[in-house]
């Protein structure tokens, strides 16, 4: 068993965890949907301050699972390296929200539309009757690709980014055909503009994709963009989500709640004493329909 340092204490509770046995936080949290939080309007707000976003830790990459009864995110104590990352689950069961740690030393999680798989770059874990499986490789053709984040559609198609020293690789996709994923293909030139294009979220029905990119005409370090899929299967232009969501700070890691009502993303500020402050924000997802091209 591994005992975490006091810096990972949340609401006066600390965890004793292992990857085989998930420790649960019995501290009561607010009742109701969205961890008991009042849904936001069109102006982004920090999500669940003091519960998910805490002062002593760095929380990033938040998203709800399929049933809206589990919220996943990455946490690590301020000043510590990424090896101290933990994948946290806030799960509603037995009529209350409970916290557990799924894995340590991971990042870039993405939950499958049915909630049965969590993708972790080129690996994944599956739900089992007792919790989650061991980490497994995605295998060819993905295991040798330096993926930041992979997002899955309901039909099993993968959408993902790729790190290169030049940060010039476009977003790509790979369809699931006869039980196997095809060789990755570029989504199109509009997904290769700017300094980088990363951390995609694909709608379960593949009707739109949201990602972050640094490109001319943006509002800050990186902005969130959206593209809609046409009836012929082609992808439309990259549309900036606008100045209500994007700021002079860096916006990253978008995800839309399974009920389609809320957009989550990270907002990263300027580095202070070597530590970059980050919070998980949420905002009404109505912007997705507002920007959708009219028939």
In SS3 terms, the chain reads as: CEECCHHHCECCECCEECCCCCCEECCCCCCCCHHHCCCCCCCCEECCECCCECCCEEEEEEEECCCCCEEEEEEEECCCCHHHCEEEEEEEECCEEEEEEEEECCCCEEECCCCCEEEECCEEEEEECCEECCCEECCCCCCCCCCCCEEECCCCCEEECCCCCCCCCCCEEECEECCEECCCEECCHHHCCCCEEEEEEECCCCCEEEEEEECCCCCCCEEEEEEEECCCCCECCCEECCCCCCCCCEEEEEEECCCCCEEEEEEECCCECCECCEEEEEEECCHHHHHCCCC
> Within a domain: residue 44?
yes
| Average pLDDT value for residue range 222-249 | 96
Mean confidence (pLDDT) of the chain: 89
Q: Can you give the pLDDT at residue 115? A: 97
| Average pLDDT value for residue range 79-107 | 94
> Within a domain: residue 86?
yes
Q: What is the pLDDT of residues 251-270, one digit of tens each?
A: 999 999 999 999 999 998 77
> Within a domain: residue 18?
no
> Within a domain: residue 17?
no
> Within a domain: residue 2?
no
| Structure tokens belonging to residue 70 | 């589990």
Q: What is the pLDDT of residues 270-286, one digit of tens each?
A: 766 667 779 999 999 99
Q: 28: pLDDT confidence band, cut at 50, 70 and 90?
A: low
| Average pLDDT value for residue range 214-218 | 94
Q: Residue 175 is part of a domain; what is its CATH number?
A: 2.120.10
Q: Can you give the pLDDT at residue 17? A: 35
Q: Can you give the pLDDT at residue 201? A: 98
Q: What is the pLDDT of residues 172-210, one digit of tens each?
A: 999 999 999 999 999 999 999 998 899 999 999 999 999
The pTM for the full model equals 0.89
Residue 31 pLDDT exceeds 70: yes
> Within a domain: residue 1?
no
> Within a domain: residue 9?
no
- pLDDT higher for 30 or 223? 223
Residue 24 pLDDT exceeds 50: no
Q: What is the pLDDT of residues 46-92, one digit of tens each?
A: 999 999 999 999 999 999 999 999 999 999 998 888 899 999 999 99
The percentage of the chain sitting over the pLDDT mark of 90, rounded to a whole number, equals 78
Q: How far, in Å, CA of 191 to CA of 58, rounded?
A: 29
> Within a domain: residue 116?
yes
How many domains, the chain? 1
- Find the domain containing 136 and state its range: 24-291
Residue 8 pLDDT exceeds 60: no
Residue 248 pLDDT exceeds 50: yes
């Amino acid at each position: 068993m591994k005992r975490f340092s006091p810096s990972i204490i949340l609401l006066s509770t600390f965890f004793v965890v292992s990857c085989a046995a998930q420790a649960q936080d019995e501290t009561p949290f607010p009742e109701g949907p969205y961890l008991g939080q009042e849904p936001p309007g069109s102006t982004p707000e920090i999500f669940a301050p003091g519960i998910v976003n805490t002062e002593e830790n760095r929380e990033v990459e938040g998203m709800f699972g399929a049933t809206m009864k589990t919220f996943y995110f990455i946490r690590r104590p301020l000043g510590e390296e990424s090896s101290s990352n933990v994948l946290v689950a806030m799960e509603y069961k037995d009529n209350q929200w409970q916290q557990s740690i799924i894995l340590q030393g991971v990042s870039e999680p993405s939950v499958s539309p049915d909630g049965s798989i969590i993708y972790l770059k080129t690996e994944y874990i599956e739900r089992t009757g007792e919790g989650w499986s061991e980490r497994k490789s995605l295998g060819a053709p993905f295991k040798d690709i330096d993926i930041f984040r992979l997002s899955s559609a309901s039909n099993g198609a993968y959408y993902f980014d790729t790190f290169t020293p030049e940060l010039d690789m476009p977003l790509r996709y790979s369809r699931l055909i006869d039980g196997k994923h095809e060789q990755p293909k570029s989504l199109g030139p509009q997904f290769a503009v700017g300094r980088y294009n990363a951390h995609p979220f694909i709608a379960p029905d593949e009707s739109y994709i949201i990602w972050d990119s640094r490109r001319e005409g943006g509002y800050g370090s990186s902005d969130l963009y959206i593209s809609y899929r046409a009836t012929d299967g082609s992808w439309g232009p990259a549309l900036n989500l606008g100045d209500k969501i994007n700021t002079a700070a860096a916006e990253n890691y978008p995800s839309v709640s399974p009920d389609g009502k809320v957009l989550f993303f990270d907002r990263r500020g300027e580095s202070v004493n070597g530590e970059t402050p980050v919070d998980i924000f949420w905002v009404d997802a109505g912007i997705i329909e507002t920007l959708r091209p009219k028939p």
